[in-house]
Amino acid sequence: MTMPVRRHIWTTIGSCLATAFLLWPLPAPAANPTRLPPLPLDGKLLELPGTGPVLRVKDKDFPLIARTTWLLHTLQDKRLVNHEIRVEGEWQPDGTLKVNHFYTIHDGKLFRVRYFCETCNIEALEPGNCICCQEPTEMQEIPVAPK
Ligand SMILES: [Zn+2]
């Protein structure tokens, strides 16, 4: 009967410890056992059952979060699943990767993804229907010059 309460206490203690750790004056960087790969990071965009989008690099999966909701919707676009992408972003303290920008990769070249309505000649931010004519937009990949 006391289990939920006890669990709650441990969760609270856990968050306090986590906060204390974050406020601690710079521990040795080597203390982190899971070294995160440098950014930008190339990998395969996957949508695993029950989770959000992940970036698979070799045999490791890094959960992705996005800077904006429209970016998240783009990462969840089924047409982009299994594509090689390059993620520019920031590692979060919990090991998730916050995506600021991403590109698709074809033959080592970078492309940006856009949603376009040919009828209205306008670009949409995320998958879905055109805000103007309400017809489905087309997903396009536009080559970008490497940085
Ligand atoms: Zn339109």
The residue-averaged pLDDT of 60-89 equals 97
Give the pLDDT mean for 76-81. 96
Q: Residue 101 pairs with which residues in a beta bridge?
A: 88
The CA dihedral of 70, 114, 106, 60, to the nearest 10 degrees, is 0
Which tens digit of pLDDT belongs to each residue from 30-67? 445 468 999 999 999 999 888 899 999 999 999 999 99
Q: Tell me the pLDDT tens digit for each residue of 90-134.
A: 999 999 999 999 999 999 999 999 999 999 999 998 999 999 999
CA of residue 69 to ligand 1 center, whole Å: 21
Top-level CATH class of 39-143? mainly beta
- Report the pLDDT averaged over residues 2-21: 56
State in Å: Cα 64 to ligand 1 middle. Answer: 30
- Show the tokens assigned to 90: 């920031």
Q: How far, in Å, from the CA of 80 to the mean position of ligand 1?
A: 22
Six token digits for residue 59: 């045999």
Q: Are 80 and 53 spatial neighbours (Cβ–Cβ below 8 Å)?
A: no
pTM value is: 0.74
Q: What's the 3 CA to ligand 1 centre distance in angstroms?
A: 56
Q: How far apart are CA 100 and CA 115, in angstroms?
A: 18
Give me the pLDDT at residue 143, please.
97
Distance 137 CA to ligand 1 centre (A): 7
Q: How close is the Cα of 78 to the center of ligand 1, in Å? A: 21
In the predicted structure, residue 20 carries a pLDDT above the cut 90: no
How many CA atoms does the CB half-sphere of 127 hold within 13 Å?
12
DSSP 34-100: SPPPPSSEEEEEEE-TTS-EEEEETTEEEEEEESSHHHHHHHT-GGGTT-EEEEEEEE-TTS-EEEE
